[in-house]
Chains A and B, each alone.
Chain A
Amino acid sequence: MRFTKGIMAAAATLALTVGAAQAQDMMKLKIGTEGAYPPFNNLEADGSLVGFDIDIAKALCAEMKADCEFVTQDWDGIIPALLAGKFDAIIASMSITEERKEKVDFTNKYYNTPPAIAVPKDSDITDATDEGLAGKALGAQSSTTHSNYAEEKFPSADLKLYPTPDEYKLDIASGRIDAVIDDVIVLSEWLKSDDGDCCKLLATLPTDPVINGEGAGIAIRKGEDDLREKLNAAIAAIRANGTYKEINDKYFDVDVYGD
């Protein structure tokens, strides 16, 4: 008798919680981000997330009237984590490419900036071409379009892959690598800071639409068209009502939306 009563009580509680969850009309959205890619997304010393991506995400959530929660995830595992359901969307400067579209769906872009190469100030590398970088150690973050770009465009360079930009910054400062390739904004912001004192920008590279894609978008699991429509509508809305420009100008001197 006690056993059956216990089962019934448990079932009732379960029903209530499920009912309660459905009664809420605020959409809950878990957003995955990296937290190691300043100025787009970065973890402060006290554990809070800051950056362009974070502000855009918060603006989109306000626009969609959704209750958003951020989850940090290492870049290498961010798409598997999305597919495994750890979060519902990736807002982490992820470029929209055909290769990634095989695994996930993307919204429209929310910014588009070209890649660039930075070298130490005393470097003897003069041009950002395959010949100019032949035999040199070129650092990039693994699983990014920039590492793919380096593999395709600079095959004679000695490519080194790092889990986060912080590690290649350490290695170029110590002279282990001769050049790094990453987004032009990321590199410029770094070069402006104290850490970037060692180095200078070599060149901004032409975007390759196949490798770099259409720009950075929001990645969601395949088949979630409803979420995609909502996010696209929100992106268009913040572009139209000036919120986007406000966030853009807070971080950058140029318009990062691109054409």
Chain B
Amino acid sequence: MSAATHRLIPAQPAPPAPAKTWTASRVAGTLLLLFWIVAGIGLVYYLYAAWDIDKVERYAPKYRDGLIVTLTLVGLSIVIGAIVSVPVAIGRMSNNPVLSRIAFAYVYIFRGTPLIAQLFLIYYGLGSFRPQLEAVGLWGFFRDAWNCALFAFTLNTAAYQAEILRGAIDSVPRGQWEGAAALGLNRVQTLWKIIMPQALIVALRPYGNEIILMLKGSAIVALVTVFDLMGETRRAFSRTYDFQMYIWAAVFYFVMVETLRNVWNWLETGLTRHLKR
């Protein structure tokens, strides 16, 4: 050690960093960022210039009501859909050919067709079956547009959630099942204590995506007379023809989606901490 320290030269300053040249990507990046900044300022300025206290007083409560309708509709359909998705997922994974075919058909139909087509079919289509529904006593439920929307959304999200659940359970290694069997646990205990905790971690991200997609997809109920956020926006636009109504709706939806996304990311990092190397 002492021999080496004699011959060491004193610490030299670091070499100069290479000059940052204006490459094509740097030019493009700066221009695009400038464009976004200008667009952002333009947007804020537009909203400021178009601010009309009468309109705000008139339509802000309606927007708030619409927001509540949206959140209620999406929240309820996700929760009920989660409950419905469990038997569907079980059907998909079962060995019984009849059950598995029915479950497959359900999932294929509801994932293969647009949500808006499903909504129209249930709203308008069931409307033309009024006598039959009245006989069964269900007309009271399907008469209301909100209920029809809830029904359509629940069926749709149940199909997607069933696939997420199935994929998550499939992703748990077979060794976990075998170990549980070796320990003498029955099927329910295995699922509840061993498989589901691991599966739900894998399923977390797709569930978050599904909630966000449902939130965005809920905008279409405006087309079947439900006054959610989008419906109130269209009503406000049809009275005022003022474009800022749509901009405000965009702002609200954007804030909701981004909040949800960031909350979900935070949840995911917290819950998968033990998996990080």
A residues adjacent to B (C-beta < 8 A): 76, 79-80, 83, 99-100, 103, 142-143, 147-148, 160-163, 170-171, 174-176
The residue in chain A whose Cβ has the minimal distance to the Cβ of B143 is A176
Do B130 and A175 touch (CB < 8 A)?
yes
Among B223, B225, B241, the residue within 8 A (CB) of A103 is: B241
Shortest Cβ distance from B243 into A: residue: A80
Query: Inside 8 A of B217's CB, which chain A residues have their CB?
Result: none
- Cα A154 to Cα B150 in complex, Å, equals 28
Bound-state CA distance A159–B145 (Å) is 12
Docked-complex contact B234 and A79, CB < 8 angstroms: no
Q: Specify which of B127, B225, B241 lies most central, judged by the most chain A CB atoms within 10 Å of its CB.
A: B225
- Chain B residues closer than 8 Å to A171, beta-carbon distance: 127
A contacts with B: majority SS: helix
| Residues on the A chain within 8 Å of B130, using CB | 174-175
Name the B residues within 8 Å of A80 (CB-CB). 241, 243
Q: List 25 A-B contacts (CB under 8 A).
A: A76-B234, A76-B237, A76-B238, A79-B241, A80-B241, A80-B243, A99-B239, A100-B241, A142-B234, A142-B235, A142-B238, A143-B238, A148-B239, A160-B225, A161-B225, A162-B225, A170-B124, A170-B127, A171-B127, A174-B127, A174-B128, A174-B130, A175-B139, A176-B127, A176-B143
**A170 to B107 Cα, complex, angstroms:** 30
- Chain B interface (Cβ within 8 Å of chain A)? 124, 127-128, 130, 139, 143, 145, 223, 225, 234-235, 237-241, 243
Interchain residue pairs A-B with the least CB separation, the first 8: A143-B238, A174-B127, A160-B225, A103-B241, A174-B130, A142-B238, A79-B241, A176-B143
Cross-chain contact A160 with B145 (CB below 8 angstroms): yes
For B128, the chain A residues whose CB sits under 8 A away are 174
Q: How far is the CB of A170 from chain B (nearest CB, A)?
A: 7
Specify the chain B residue showing the minimal Cβ separation from A143.
B238
CA distance A163 to B128 in the complex (A): 19
CB pair B239–A161 under 8 Å, yes or no, is no
Q: Helix, strand, loop or mixed for chain B's interface? A: helix
- In the complex, chain A residues whose CB is within 8 Å of the CB of B127: 170-171, 174, 176
| Minimal beta-carbon separation of A176 from chain B (angstroms) | 5
Cα A231 to Cα B83 with chains together (Å)? 63
Name which residue of chain A comes closest to B223, CB basis. A163
Q: A162-B225, A171-B127 are in contact. List 4 more A-B contacts (CB 8 A).
A: A76-B237, A80-B241, A100-B241, A142-B238
> B223 contacts which chain A residues (CB < 8 A)?
163
Q: Which residues of A contact B239 (CB under 8 A)?
A: 99, 143, 148
CA of A142 to CA of B234 in the docked complex: distance in angstroms? Answer: 9
Q: Which of A79, A162, A175 contacts B143 (CB 8 A)?
A: A175
- The minimal Cβ–Cβ distance linking A153 to chain B, given in whole angstroms, is 16
CB neighbours (8 Å) of B240 from chain A are: 99
Q: In the complex, how many angstroms separate the beta carbon of B37 from the nearest chain A beta carbon?
A: 27
Q: Min CB distance, B55 to chain A, in Å?
A: 12
CB distance from B54 to the nearest CB of A (A): 12
Residues in B whose Cβ lies below 8 Å from that of A79: 241
Chain B's nearest CB lies how many Å from the CB of A254?
Answer: 30
Chain A residues, Cβ within 8 Å of B241? 79-80, 83, 100, 103
Give every chain B residue within 8 A of A76 (Cβ-Cβ): 234, 237-238
